[in-house]
Amino acid sequence: MLLSGDAGVGKTRLLTVLRDLGLTQGWQVRAGHCLDFGDSALPYLPFTEIFGRLAADLPGTVDAVARTHPALARLAPGRRILGETGRGAADLRTLDPAELMEGVHALLDAAAGTAPLLLVVEDVQWADPSTRDLLTFLFTRPFDGPVAVVASYRSDDLHRRHPLRRQVAEWLRVSGVQRIELAPLSDAAVRQLIEELVPAGLRETESAQIVARAEGNAFFVEELASAASGPDRWVPADLADVLLVRLDRLDDAARQVVRTASVSGRTVAHAMLAAVCGLPGADLDDGLRQAVEMNALVAGDGGYAFRHALLGEADYDDLLPGERVRLHQQYAAALSDGRARGTAAELARHARLAMDRDTALSASIRAEDEAAAVGGPEEAAQHYEQALELLSDPRRVLDPGLDVSVLAVRPPRR
């Protein structure tokens, strides 16, 4: 099943209800999330998340499948973290993507032998090419056990040249693949949602303004209703204010926490925030608690996520250019010195946006190695090309200790 709709229309909420319904009926539910890493592609990212959850919940099943499909081991989350791999040269050989796809398919089939399995991959508009290829493989290759696959994406992000447009058209030609397109709410449904969100009621003029401005977007309805029912009873005129009005109510510590988190993207680990935010432990906890209580962030799985991706994007866009560079520098430093866990692709992204071209170059070279090692040739080529661009940048002063010879002798296989 493909689930599409504009940002904020309610895809995640619908998937949450689907998850709860599946769990009550005895299904296993495993979810993976695509993240917007920009040019720093990390192949198979959502499936690394899914593999980690399966390894924790079904270690015997994962071990049994990995013995017959050793390529699966490349997806282990710990194998992709800076400073923790300890791999030899043989372990960095380029992997045939077909080996990994066969292994993932076999693992899902084996997991479905214990109970029906619902696999959810969110935000596929940000998926790397390897993840899209793996989804194609799963859509076209039948399972022996009861496996359901749902992939969601923002339809408003699919511009004419977006690679997912062609992929979606191909998926819909596969027998058994269907699509649900979530449309904006009707005016009547918006009014019903306002009544549920504000039981005490709003003035008719306020309700009418929300109906007119939200344009059926459930997230905008929630934010506008929250603003209209707040202390100042204010319905913002600009939709950017709609997204940021909740954050304006935070104190300084919570605001600093949320600003710092926005630089990471949709999600951020607690250890990363502690390393980067610059707040003492008690102040960090107080700021996080307020951000969670005010529904800016949601806690879970050792970290935090923005309640809605649009909220994090708006907050990041609201940063001053100097703030962005400084925060990306702090992220890159935390990843480089081991205070926080992350991948070479993440380090490359933060270093590039922090204008630290030497660190971005070395991280891009390592990210290219790691992408090839998990069978992601397109992502490897992308990192390789970025490294070449950085190497030719006249503004960069080359670190004499940096080995760039691999760029001249080992172009990645596409």
Q: What is the pLDDT of residue 288?
A: 95
Q: Do residues 169 and 204 both lie within one domain?
A: no
**Sign, CA torsion 98/99/104/109:** positive
Round to whole Å and give the CA distance between 377 and 130. 8
Q: Do residues 215 and 113 both lie within one domain?
A: no
Round to whole Å and give the CA distance between 224 and 226. 5
Residue 304 lies in a domain: yes
DSSP letter string, 173-218: TSTT--EEEEPPPPHHHHHHHHHHH-TT---HHHHHHHHHHHTT-H
Q: What is the pLDDT of residue 53?
A: 93
Residue 366 lies in a domain: no
Q: Do residues 195 and 176 both lie within one domain?
A: no
Check: CB of residue 245 under 8 Å from CB of residue 232: no
Residue 295 lies in a domain: yes
Place of tokens 């019903």: 192
Round to whole Å and give the CA distance between 48 and 289. 29
User: H or E segment at 138?
Assistant: helix 129-140
Residue 375 lies in a domain: no
Q: Tell me which of 217, 237, 257 is where a domain ends.
A: 237
Q: What is the pLDDT of residue 36?
A: 81
Q: Do residues 309 and 233 both lie within one domain?
A: no
Check: CB of residue 380 under 8 Å from CB of residue 344: no
User: H or E segment at 118?
Assistant: strand 117-122
The pLDDT profile of the chain, 414 residues, written as one tens digit per residue, is 999 998 889 999 999 999 999 999 999 999 999 988 766 667 898 999 999 999 999 999 999 999 999 989 888 876 667 665 444 333 545 678 899 999 999 999 999 999 999 999 999 999 999 999 999 999 999 999 999 999 999 988 887 788 999 999 999 999 999 999 999 999 999 999 999 999 988 889 889 988 987 888 898 888 888 877 766 555 555 666 667 776 877 899 999 999 999 999 888 999 999 999 989 989 999 999 999 988 789 898 789 998 777 788 888 988 999 999 999 999 999 999 989 988 888 999 999 999 988 888 888 888 888 888 777 888 888 887 888 887 776 665 555 555 555 555 455 544
Round to whole Å and give the CA distance between 368 and 362. 10
* Residues 58-102 pLDDT 10s: 999 999 999 999 989 888 876 667 665 444 333 545 678 899 999
Q: Do residues 258 and 130 both lie within one domain?
A: no
User: H or E segment at 273?
Assistant: helix 270-276
Q: Do residues 224 and 261 both lie within one domain?
A: no
**Going by DSSP bridges, is the β-strand pair 303-306/147-154 parallel, antiparallel, or unpaired?**
unpaired
Q: What is the pLDDT of residue 89?
A: 38
Residue 370 lies in a domain: no
Q: Do residues 169 and 279 both lie within one domain?
A: no
Cα radius of gyration rounded to whole Å, the chain: 22
Q: What is the pLDDT of residue 365?
A: 86
Edge-to-edge order in the sheet of strand 297-300: 267-269, 303-306, 297-300
Q: Tell me which of 302, 321, 342 is where a domain ends.
A: 342
The CATH number linked to 31 is 3.40.50
CA distances from 224 to 66, 97, 228 (A): 50, 46, 6
User: What tokens appear for 55 in the block?
Assistant: 């390894």
Which residue segment(s) compose the domain that 276 sits in? 243-342
Q: What are phi and psi of 71, to 5 degrees?
A: -60, -25
Residue 280 lies in a domain: yes
What does the buried/exposed string (b/e) look like for 220-229 if buried means 16 or more CB atoms within 10 Å of the residue's CB? bbbbbbbbbb
Alpha-carbon 350 to chain mean position:
15
* Residues 116-166 pLDDT 10s: 999 999 999 999 999 999 999 999 999 999 999 999 999 888 877 889 999
Q: Tell me which of 154, 182, 210 is where a domain ends.
A: 182
Q: What is the pLDDT of residue 192?
A: 95
Check: CB of residue 71 under 8 Å from CB of residue 65: no
Question: If DSSP codes are grouped into helix, strand and coil, which group holds residue 323?
Answer: helix
Q: What is the pLDDT of residue 210?
A: 87
Check: CB of residue 157 under 8 Å from CB of residue 7: yes
Q: Do residues 218 and 251 both lie within one domain?
A: no
Question: If DSSP codes are grouped into helix, strand and coil, which group holds residue 404?
Answer: coil
Q: Do residues 248 and 333 both lie within one domain?
A: yes
Q: Do residues 55 and 204 both lie within one domain?
A: no
Q: What is the pLDDT of residue 122?
A: 95
Q: What is the pLDDT of residue 282?
A: 92
Q: Do residues 224 and 256 both lie within one domain?
A: no
Round to whole Å and give the CA distance between 44 and 135. 10
Residue 276 lies in a domain: yes
Return the closest-CA partner of residue 272 out of 288, 291, 251: 288
- The amino acid at residue 349 is R
Q: What is the pLDDT of residue 394?
A: 63
Number of domains in the chain: 3
DSSP letter string, 220-255: HHHHHHHHHTSTT----SSHHHHHHHHHHTS-HHHH
Round to whole Å and give the CA distance between 196 and 215. 18
Q: What is the pLDDT of residue 263?
A: 95
Residue 199 lies in a domain: yes
Q: Do residues 131 and 207 both lie within one domain?
A: no
